Amino acid sequence: MVDENLLNDLKKMREEGPSGPSDVLKLFELAKQLSQESEDMKEELEDMDEMTVQFIMNDVDYKWWVKLGEGKFEYGEGEASEPSVTLSTTQENWANMFGGEADATSLYMSGDLLIEGNLQDAIAFGEILSMIQDEFEE
Protein backbone atom coordinates (compact mmCIF):
# COMPACT_ATOMS: atom_id res chain seq x y z
CA MET A 1 0.00 0.00 0.00
CA VAL A 2 1.24 3.46 -0.87
CA ASP A 3 2.34 5.43 2.20
CA GLU A 4 -0.51 7.73 3.29
CA ASN A 5 1.94 10.30 4.71
CA LEU A 6 3.62 10.48 1.31
CA LEU A 7 0.27 11.02 -0.41
CA ASN A 8 -0.60 13.77 2.06
CA ASP A 9 2.79 15.44 1.50
CA LEU A 10 2.25 15.33 -2.27
CA LYS A 11 -1.26 16.79 -1.97
CA LYS A 12 0.06 19.58 0.23
CA MET A 13 2.90 20.22 -2.21
CA ARG A 14 0.41 20.39 -5.08
CA GLU A 15 -1.68 22.99 -3.20
CA GLU A 16 1.12 25.08 -1.72
CA GLY A 17 4.04 24.38 -4.01
CA PRO A 18 7.31 22.66 -3.15
CA SER A 19 9.36 23.89 -0.21
CA GLY A 20 12.63 23.07 -1.98
CA PRO A 21 14.07 21.34 -5.04
CA SER A 22 14.40 17.94 -3.36
CA ASP A 23 10.61 17.79 -2.84
CA VAL A 24 10.43 16.47 -6.39
CA LEU A 25 11.86 13.18 -5.12
CA LYS A 26 8.59 12.55 -3.25
CA LEU A 27 6.88 12.06 -6.59
CA PHE A 28 9.48 9.48 -7.53
CA GLU A 29 9.08 7.71 -4.20
CA LEU A 30 5.39 7.44 -5.06
CA ALA A 31 6.38 6.02 -8.45
CA LYS A 32 8.68 3.49 -6.80
CA GLN A 33 5.91 2.36 -4.46
CA LEU A 34 3.44 2.16 -7.35
CA SER A 35 5.94 0.13 -9.38
CA GLN A 36 5.70 -2.53 -6.69
CA GLU A 37 1.90 -2.41 -6.24
CA SER A 38 0.15 -1.35 -9.44
CA GLU A 39 -0.27 -4.14 -11.95
CA ASP A 40 -0.42 -1.58 -14.78
CA MET A 41 2.88 -0.01 -13.69
CA LYS A 42 4.52 -3.41 -13.23
CA GLU A 43 3.46 -4.46 -16.71
CA GLU A 44 4.62 -1.21 -18.29
CA LEU A 45 8.02 -1.38 -16.57
CA GLU A 46 8.48 -5.04 -17.52
CA ASP A 47 7.87 -4.27 -21.20
CA MET A 48 10.16 -1.24 -21.26
CA ASP A 49 13.86 -1.39 -22.11
CA GLU A 50 16.06 -0.10 -19.29
CA MET A 51 16.85 3.60 -19.48
CA THR A 52 18.29 6.27 -17.25
CA VAL A 53 16.78 9.74 -17.25
CA GLN A 54 18.80 12.66 -15.85
CA PHE A 55 16.84 15.67 -14.57
CA ILE A 56 18.28 19.12 -14.00
CA MET A 57 16.74 22.17 -12.33
CA ASN A 58 19.03 24.58 -14.08
CA ASP A 59 18.14 27.67 -12.05
CA VAL A 60 18.96 26.09 -8.66
CA ASP A 61 21.62 23.59 -9.79
CA TYR A 62 19.73 20.54 -8.53
CA LYS A 63 20.06 17.17 -10.27
CA TRP A 64 18.41 13.80 -9.87
CA TRP A 65 18.04 10.66 -11.94
CA VAL A 66 15.59 7.85 -12.55
CA LYS A 67 16.52 4.38 -13.81
CA LEU A 68 13.57 2.37 -15.05
CA GLY A 69 12.61 -0.48 -17.30
CA GLU A 70 13.00 -4.24 -17.33
CA GLY A 71 10.85 -4.34 -14.18
CA LYS A 72 12.86 -1.78 -12.20
CA PHE A 73 12.23 1.71 -10.89
CA GLU A 74 15.04 3.43 -8.99
CA TYR A 75 15.86 7.07 -8.36
CA GLY A 76 18.42 9.21 -6.59
CA GLU A 77 19.99 12.64 -6.25
CA GLY A 78 22.98 13.75 -8.25
CA GLU A 79 24.33 12.85 -11.65
CA ALA A 80 23.66 9.60 -13.47
CA SER A 81 26.71 7.87 -14.90
CA GLU A 82 25.39 7.38 -18.44
CA PRO A 83 21.89 8.83 -18.93
CA SER A 84 20.09 7.97 -22.14
CA VAL A 85 18.25 11.29 -21.97
CA THR A 86 18.67 14.51 -19.99
CA LEU A 87 15.80 16.91 -19.27
CA SER A 88 16.59 20.46 -18.08
CA THR A 89 14.33 23.31 -17.04
CA THR A 90 13.64 25.63 -14.10
CA GLN A 91 12.33 24.62 -10.68
CA GLU A 92 9.06 26.40 -11.41
CA ASN A 93 8.57 24.54 -14.69
CA TRP A 94 9.29 21.18 -13.00
CA ALA A 95 6.75 21.98 -10.28
CA ASN A 96 4.17 22.99 -12.88
CA MET A 97 4.83 19.92 -14.99
CA PHE A 98 4.66 17.44 -12.13
CA GLY A 99 1.63 19.26 -10.70
CA GLY A 100 -0.21 18.89 -13.99
CA GLU A 101 -0.29 22.64 -14.67
CA ALA A 102 2.18 22.54 -17.56
CA ASP A 103 2.63 20.12 -20.42
CA ALA A 104 6.11 18.79 -21.22
CA THR A 105 5.46 18.99 -24.96
CA SER A 106 4.48 22.67 -24.74
CA LEU A 107 7.50 23.46 -22.58
CA TYR A 108 9.75 21.64 -25.06
CA MET A 109 8.24 23.39 -28.09
CA SER A 110 8.64 26.80 -26.41
CA GLY A 111 12.28 26.09 -25.56
CA ASP A 112 11.62 26.03 -21.81
CA LEU A 113 12.39 22.30 -21.51
CA LEU A 114 15.66 21.14 -23.01
CA ILE A 115 15.96 17.48 -24.03
CA GLU A 116 19.35 15.98 -24.85
CA GLY A 117 19.78 12.38 -25.89
CA ASN A 118 17.22 9.77 -26.86
CA LEU A 119 13.90 11.51 -27.51
CA GLN A 120 12.08 8.17 -27.53
CA ASP A 121 13.20 7.56 -23.94
CA ALA A 122 11.86 10.98 -22.97
CA ILE A 123 8.50 10.09 -24.54
CA ALA A 124 8.42 6.68 -22.82
CA PHE A 125 9.22 8.31 -19.48
CA GLY A 126 6.40 10.80 -20.10
CA GLU A 127 4.00 7.88 -20.41
CA ILE A 128 5.17 6.52 -17.04
CA LEU A 129 4.79 9.99 -15.52
CA SER A 130 1.21 10.13 -16.82
CA MET A 131 0.47 6.79 -15.18
CA ILE A 132 1.90 8.08 -11.88
CA GLN A 133 -0.21 11.22 -12.07
CA ASP A 134 -3.34 9.18 -12.88
CA GLU A 135 -2.73 6.93 -9.87
CA PHE A 136 -2.14 9.98 -7.67
CA GLU A 137 -5.42 11.55 -8.81
CA GLU A 138 -7.39 8.46 -7.74
Strand partners, 116: 86
pLDDT digits (tens, 9 = 90+) for 27-72: 889 889 988 888 888 999 999 999 999 999 999 999 999 999 999 9
pLDDT digits (tens, 9 = 90+) for 77-132: 999 999 999 999 999 998 888 777 888 889 999 999 999 999 999 999 888 888 87
CATH number for the domain that contains residue 62:
3.30.1050.10
Structural domain for 58, as ranges: 4-137
How does DSSP classify residue 41? H
Please give the tally of structural domains in the chain: 1
Q: Which residues contact 21 (CB under 8 A, 6 or more apart)?
A: 57, 60, 62, 91
